[in-house]
Amino acid sequence: MARNYRTRSGSGEIDIVAWDGETLAFVEVKTRSTAEFGAPESAVDEEKRTKLRYAARDYARRANVAWDRTRFDIVSVLAGRRVQVEWMRDAFR
């Protein structure tokens, strides 16, 4: 549905907005070359989650999608010699 969705105020951004069946998924993609300083998904701290929720509520309201039909996913990418991708559905629960 959208890539790099930003609120008009610029206070939040969502990497990917996509339908997964009847659920609208707000997806945060985190990429690191190594896990030396932690897994990529560890960068989605409470401050980042708050900004994502704000942007998601804005998108859902504009798209007329009920909040109970949404979820937050994280796609974690380690881009070393062997690329590893993990998709964490409903990551904020």
Query: What architecture does CATH give domain 2-88?
Result: 3-Layer(aba) Sandwich (3.40)
Give the burial class of 77: count Cβ atoms within 10 A of its Cβ; 0-12 exposed, 13-18 middle, 19 or more buried.
Answer: middle
What pTM value is reported for the model?
A: 0.90
Residue 75 φ/ψ, nearest 5 degrees? -110, 120
In the predicted model, residues of the chain with pLDDT beneath 70 are: none
The ranges assigned to domains in the chain are: 2-88
Taking the C-alpha atoms of residue 66 and residue 80, their distance in angstroms, rounded to an integer, is 39
pLDDT of residue 80: 84
pLDDT of residue 54: 95
pLDDT of residue 9: 86
